[in-house]
Structure 1
Amino acid sequence: MFSKRDHFSDASQGCMETQVDLHTAMGHKLLEGAQRFADLNARVAQRSLHETEEMLRVGLWANSAQDFADMATNQAKATSRKAASYACNVAGIAVGTQSELIGLLGVQITETNTEVVELMADVSRSNPGAYGRLIPMMRLSFDHANAGFERVTHASRQVLDTLETNFIAAARQFDQSFRSVARAG
């Protein structure tokens, strides 16, 4: 028969292993998000270099100042659309990474709650009178912790949704301002 110390020792070791697994998984997800962001930036930089080269080539062959101004206006329109697309991609990467991290944390919290409740149930079976009130109190505290986690999750999703909406609105406004300048020019 296991002693209480053995129960707690096994539970502590299991909790540490779970924490290491969680931190490893979270680190992996963060690296994946950083890799997606780096890939996006590399594609944008490469495309920008090619477009700059093309713009310089066209600018050198422009016959008049009007041709050069038209080319610059067209380039500005394209740039505003690309900025909007970039902002949406960045927001998408942030939202995706955040969702994956929250999912990992939710699984971790659920597993930890289950393990602690099982531990307390095992300990209370060996000494029923002393822990009779402790288990319902722990379950209640876990319920409160889960509710708090849900509120934090909901708030962070709202923040990221607002960020994405603001990116899109700013990009649209940027695009509209370039269109109005192009019409005036």
Structure 2
Amino acid sequence: MRSLFIAGILIAAPVVAMAVGSESDTPPTPTDTTQTCTNGMIWDADSKSCLEPTDSSLNDRDRMDAVRELAYAGRINDAERVLDAMTDQTADGVLTYRGFTARKAGRVDEAHEWYARALEANPDNLLARSYLGQAHVAEGNIQLAQAQLSEIRQRGGRSSWAELSLRMAIRSGSGYSY
């Protein structure tokens, strides 16, 4: 019954961009970046080859798409390698994903630092707030997670994926990746 309830919420709730650098509210579709390339390399459709993330033919949008795909696939080290190649290391999306990858790698204190920097750069970064709240849930600090949920709602994120995923994490006691 609970699964049906959660599925109903997911279907009925309007969602916004689920992950930084993405206009999608669904998990990334695996591409050759995760299917063919190794060591944090990124598939380039034009050359039909895997490129170093620093290659000049790639832009930060390509890199962020690769970060999202690699992180979702659990290839945290590869995602971090691509993050290192991002042009603007102070962009709140980059900082958010640094927090996400640190948290998924078990470096929770470091993750908190990255999320704080992302929120300093952009207090309205709802995804950073959601991921920070999910870190608090994982640490058993529901009160701090609820504070982030409140911030998300106050900043216009009601019914967004950021709000929904944090609310479900608080309810279930465990976080969601996306």
Instruction: Give the TM-score normalised by structure 1.
Output: 0.22
Instruction: Give the TM-score normalised by structure 2.
Output: 0.23
Instruction: Flag the structure with larger Rg.
Output: 1
More helix by share: 1
